[in-house]
Chain A
Amino acid sequence: MAEPALGVAGLVKSFGALKATDGVDLQLNAGEIHALIGPNGAGKSTLIGQIAGTLRPDRGEIRLYGRDVTHLDASGRSRLGVARTFQVSSLVDEFSALRNVMLAVQGRSRTSYRFIRNVMNDRTLVDPAREALDRVGLSKRADVPASELSHGERRQLEIAVALALGPKVFLLDEPMAGMGPDGSRALTGFLHRLREEAPILLVEHDMDAVFALADRVSVLVYGRVVASGTVDEIRNDPVVREAYLGEPAA
């Protein structure tokens, strides 16, 4: 069997006495959507942060297509093909939507140390950026500063920025959060196709979306993976129903 796209082994991260990540093993295979669910405070975002490289784990190992990337920082992992979206949209607020995506194109092509050419006249940046905006349906808002976009538009822009990185792995941290039913449905359809470009590790609270999209689901509680399996296995797992879904077996 081929190397998993993303392999996490024995990951531990403590904040003082609190073990936010407590020995997590996780695999994301090519072509799949692996959903990570769990109650608030289970350590999902902390885990995403460690995989993306913004947080340093205390112990454990992170591999990207077999390559150990544990020692790399966020920018190094991004260059190797990890694209993440943030739970709370994190954009360059003074920049227009288009320039936010152009920045991703520039980051991907590793051409940030060019000092002469005006970026707005640079079709090698503008064209791919417009294409990514187009794919998420944000073309009409290209010239609006990120700070003036609506909440839902900022979520879309996050996705467009991730697309423009042309990554080998997507880490999506609650992309549906606050999107409303129509937005969620549209995004669900979009992510369904996106997995063919690169596998997705999806943190999501919207269970309809998770059950519609995920090939596999892992359940995180108090920093531990308490269950992992297909959607049906997770749906019917009594431990999960009690610990997370919070309902007695119906």
Chain B
Amino acid sequence: MGASMPVSREAVVSLTLILALLAGALIAQASGETFYVTLATRIAILALAATGLNLALGLGGLVSFGHAAFFGIGGYACGILAIHAYNGEPMILGLPGTQTMPVIWLAALVASGLVAVAIGALSLRTSGVYFIMITLAFAQMIYYFAISWPAYGGEDGLSIFVRDNFPGVNTLKPLPFFLICFALLAAGLFFFGLVRDSRFGAALQAARQNPVRVAALGMAPFRIRLVAFVLSAMMTGVAGALYVDLNRFVSPSMLSWQMSGELIVLVVLGGTGRLAGPLAGAALYVLFEFLLGGMTERWQFFLGLILLLVVLFARGGVVGLLAGRARHG
């Protein structure tokens, strides 16, 4: 079996990146630099969101320019549940709010998944540039809805005041909260790896390359892509909930087209379709923002330049650089 050997090099790179994130946070904590723990938390959350996108974009070739919709819906699921619990006011149907993270994650999962079913069913009727424009447009629709709906802060967003809790963990401290986010990222990456190597992943990757062939083998590309799109959105949705707990704040900017663009940047910068691509991309992005942002207010100008150079001249992303080209058994 020639399949096992080339895979392992990517596995080594992936494992190294994951452990580096964990080590970075632990070292920062030990030296009392909790700011860097928060930075690592931000990397973990963005990496989880981008890993979700990587499922659709990397494996399925679905260039969704609307994943901010799911990131934001997960965020609002968190914000709305938390604020109702905080105020003690019931939501619609008399349901109570909650500040328990696993329940919030479940709500984020369900909410983003349901919206993804609707958006996916419509936008997957098309492909190519149409798909890009339509996902972008639907995300913008939700963005405008959030702005014009006054109940949860409208344009100003919504503060949740206190971070939600997790049974048996003090989430108010940076390191325990980081560990929660890190564990979810690890779970997300594990799930991505499973899916990639599974029968479903085979069908999805084949549908990206040759949908006519896949249909001739009795598998409907539309349905395969829709399932991938929904799974992808759910993972990004959970990341959105964590992001709100990190910032204790949710606003329409989580739903904006810039956010969608950034998620794509994270995936491609790290390596499209690669297991640890989104993690590498998120780490690079956050560090870049931190270092360059410390030097100049105009850091996005330089981000744009670098991104342009990467797209034009350096394809394959960070993981492509470290682990060589992707191999398929």
A75 CB within 8 Å of chain B = yes
Query: B220 contacts which of A75, A83, A115 (Cβ < 8 Å)?
Result: A75
Residue picked from B3, B214, B216, most chain A C-beta under 10 Å: B216
Q: B193-226 interface mask toward A, CB cutoff 8 Å, 1 = contact, 0 = none? A: 0110111111101100110111111111100100
Are the CB atoms of B202 and A119 closer together than 8 Å?
yes
User: Is A217 an interface residue, CB under 8 A from the partner?
Assistant: no
Contact check, B209 vs A102: say whether CB atoms are below 8 A apart. Answer: no
Which residues of chain A are near B198, meaning CB under 8 Å? Answer: 114-119
**Given A103-B202, A112-B224, A113-B227, also A94-B218 (CB < 8 A):** no
Is A25 in the interface zone, CB < 8 Å from B?
Answer: no
Interface size of A as a range: 35 or more
Please indicate the chain B residues that have their CB under 8 angstroms from the CB of A108 in the complex: 217-218
Partner of B219 from the list A75, A86, A114 (CB cut-off 8 Å) is: A75
* A102 CB contact (under 8 Å) in B202, B219, B221: B202
Q: Does B125 contact A (CB under 8 A)?
A: no
A37 at the B interface (CB under 8 A): no
In the assembled complex, the Cα of A119 lies from the Cα of B198 at a distance in Å of 5
Chain B residues in the interface with A (C-beta under 8 A): 1-4, 194-195, 197-203, 205-206, 209-210, 212-221, 224, 227, 326, 328-329
Question: A94 near B3 (CB under 8 angstroms)?
Answer: no
Do the beta carbons of A117 and B199 come within 8 Å of each other? yes
Contact yes or no, B328 A116, CB < 8 A: no
B-contact bits for A89-103, CB 8 A (1 contact / 0 none) = 011111110110011
- CB-CB < 8 A to B1: which residues of A? 120, 143
Interface residues of A in 62-88 (CB under 8 A from B): 73-76, 78-79, 83-84, 86
Given contacts A99-B328, A99-B329, A120-B1, contact A92 B199 (CB under 8 A): no
**11 A–B pairs (Cβ distance < 8 Å), ordered by A:** A86-B216, A90-B212, A93-B210, A95-B206, A103-B202, A106-B203, A108-B218, A115-B200, A118-B197, A119-B199, A143-B1
A78 CA to B329 CA, complexed, in Å: 25
Which single residue of chain A is at the shortest CB-CB distance from B193? Answer: A118
Given contacts A99-B202, A113-B200, A115-B194, contact A75 B215 (CB under 8 A): yes
Contact A120 B3 (CB under 8 A): yes
List A residues 182-220 near B (Cβ within 8 Å).
Answer: none
A98 vs B204: C-alpha distance in the bound complex, in angstroms? 17
Contact A119/B212 with A78-B218, A95-B206, A96-B328 known, Cβ cut-off 8 Å:
no
Structural contact, A96 and B202, CB atoms closer than 8 A: no
Cα of A26 to Cα of B221 in the assembled complex, Å: 30
Is there contact, CB below 8 Å, between A90 and B210? Answer: yes
Residues of A within 8 A of B212 (CB): 54, 74, 90
Q: With CB as the reference atom, state the residue of chain B lying closest to A102.
A: B202
Return B14 CB to nearest CB of chain A, in Å. 16
Q: Classify the secondary structure of B's interface with A.
A: helix
Indicate whether A94 sits within 8 Å of B224 (C-beta atoms), given known contacts A78-B215, A111-B199, A117-B199. Answer: no
Chain A nearest Cβ from B194, distance in angstroms: 6
Whole-angstrom CA separation of A234 from B224 in the bound complex: 46
Q: Is A145 an interface residue (CB 8 A)?
A: yes
- Taking a contact as CB atoms under 8 Å apart, the answer to whether A73 and B220 are in contact is yes
Q: Taking the nearest CB of chain B, how far is it from the CB of A142, in angstroms?
A: 9
Contact between chains at A165 and B199 (CB < 8 Å) = no
Task: Provide the bound-state CA to CA distance between A116 and B224, in Å.
Answer: 16
Q: Which residue of B lies closest to A158 (CB)?
A: B213
**In the complex, which residues 99-149 of chain A have their Cβ closer than 8 Å to any Cβ of chain B?**
99, 102-104, 106-108, 110-120, 122, 125, 143, 145
- In angstroms, Cα B202 to Cα A98, docked, is 12
Q: With a CB–CB cut-off of 8 A, which chain B residues contact A83?
A: 216
Determine the chain B residues whose CB is within 8 A of the CB of A30 once the complex forms.
none
Across the interface, name the chain A residue whose C-beta is closest to B227.
A113
**Residues of B close to A94: CB separation below 8 A:** 205, 209, 326, 328
Contact check, B224 vs A115: say whether CB atoms are below 8 A apart: no
Binary interface encoding of chain A residues 30-47 relative to chain B, with 1 for a CB under 8 A from any of its CBs, else 0: 000000000000000000
A176 at the interface (CB under 8 A from B): no
The smallest C-beta distance from A170 to any residue of chain B, in angstroms, reads: 12
Contact across chains for A92 and B206 when beta carbons are under 8 A apart: yes
Q: A74-B216, A108-B218, A114-B198 are in contact. Are A95 and B203 (CB under 8 A)?
A: no
> In the complex, what's the smallest C-beta–C-beta distance from A92 to chain B, in angstroms?
4
Complex partner residue of A112 from B3, B4, B200, B329, CB under 8 angstroms: B200
B218 engages A107 (CB within 8 Å): yes
Residue among A73, A102, A115 making CB contact with B215, cutoff 8 Å: A73
Residues of B within 8 A of A113 (CB): 199-200, 227
A161 near B: Cβ within 8 Å? yes
Query: Are B2's CB and A106's CB within 8 A?
Result: no
Given contacts A113-B227, A117-B199, A165 and B217 within 8 Å (CB-CB): yes
Q: With an 8 A cutoff between CB atoms, is A159 at the interface?
A: no
Tell me whether A240 is interfacial, beta carbon within 8 Å.
Answer: no
Query: How distant is the Cα of A74 from the Cα of B209 in the complex, in angstroms?
Result: 17
Chain B residues within 8 Å of A103, by CB: 202-203, 206, 214, 217
Q: Interface readout for A148-187 with B: 1 if CB under 8 Å, 0 if not?
A: 0000000000000100010000000000000000000000
